[in-house]
Amino acid sequence: MRKLATIQKIEEIKPISGADQIDVARIKGWWVVVEKNLHKVGDDIIFLEIDSFLPLKPEYDFLLRGNKPKKMLVEGKEVEGIRLRSIKLKGQISQGLILPIPDGLVIPEDGDVSEQLNIIKYEAPIPVSLAGKVKGAFPSFFPKTSEERIQNIPEIFSGFVVSEKIDGTNVNFYKKDGVFGVCSRNLELCEGETTQWRIAKEMDLQNKMPDNFALQGELVGEGIQKNPLKIKGQEVYFFNAYNIESGIYLDYKDFIELCKSLGLKTAPIVNDNFSLPKTVDEMLLYAEGKSLINPDVEREGIVVRPKIERSYNGTRFSFKAISNKHLLKEI
């Protein structure tokens, strides 16, 4: 079901040319005209999408603008309400409505407050010639047509994060049901004098890591892969966090927050709002560049992942692009 009224953050506010009393605010991919100086970037608000069907209440009367309420059949009964439509003010298209969050509103985990506000999707009346005699509710054994609006998923274009691919050796740490473990890329290692276990103890991961999580990173430095980054000593740069109980990787934001809370370094971020190029050649060219760890050397390449986890062909979506400059140095 389409989430018509949700808790969102204002991500950007811009002035409107020739307008002294209004600005335009961005929520996800939507632009909404708002009163000047009423909101600021980062504010939590209720966002109503266009095609929302609002109940007749005094606080929504301004939306009628002298027009009569719309009528719609809801569960076989005709009801009156207000259809939220796109409008243009001072040459600026406004799509949606921003409302303050009222006291006492219960905010669910998914942020959808449509039901609490009694807001449903407006459906245009069906012509008499197409309406026919109603047999019953829509069958439950196949879904209604319901494509998502592009403004609600702008991240499919630019919601990628690019991190530096580090030339080292893979290392993994986990804590499952209170038991701590250390792994190389393919094997679990017994506790001992290995570099991986020594690093784990130096970082106090056995005590710091939350239970039922795994952390994956790249171990780099002296004695590892000829130390191409010329690092003194040895360090781990983390790039993944996995929730063992739920069986999912953490989204980018949650991963960064977890590493910060544990005092751990993450793989350097090249771009945290990346848009995919049109060709593979462009992607390979982008992979070239100096390392953010040591700007005197070429980086091995980059790793691209979506900010919000998603799958491709049944597996987690991510890919790496190795720098041709880096490869040429190895020939």
Residue 186: which pLDDT band, with cuts at 50, 70 and 90?
A: confident
| Residue range(s) of every CATH 3.30.470.30 domain in the chain | 158-330
Contact 44, 9 (CB under 8 A): yes
Contact 184, 170 (CB under 8 A): yes
pLDDT of residue 330: 57
Contact 155, 307 (CB under 8 A): yes
| Average pLDDT of the segment spanning 72-100 | 91
pLDDT of residue 44: 97
pLDDT at 327 over 50: yes
pLDDT in tens, 101-141: 999 999 999 999 999 999 999 987 766 555 566 676 667 76
| Average pLDDT of the segment spanning 84-111 | 93
pLDDT at 99 over 50: yes
Best CATH choice for the domain 158-330 from the list 3.40.630.40, 3.40.50.620, 2.40.110.20, 3.30.470.30: 3.30.470.30
Tokens of 32: 């909404």
pTM, two decimal places: 0.66
Spatial distance between the Cα atoms of 40 and 44, rounded to a whole number of angstroms: 9
Buried b vs exposed e over 55-79: b needs ≥16 C-beta within 10 Å? eeeeebeebeeeeebbebeeeeeee
| Average pLDDT of the segment spanning 25-54 | 95
Contact 238, 219 (CB under 8 A): no
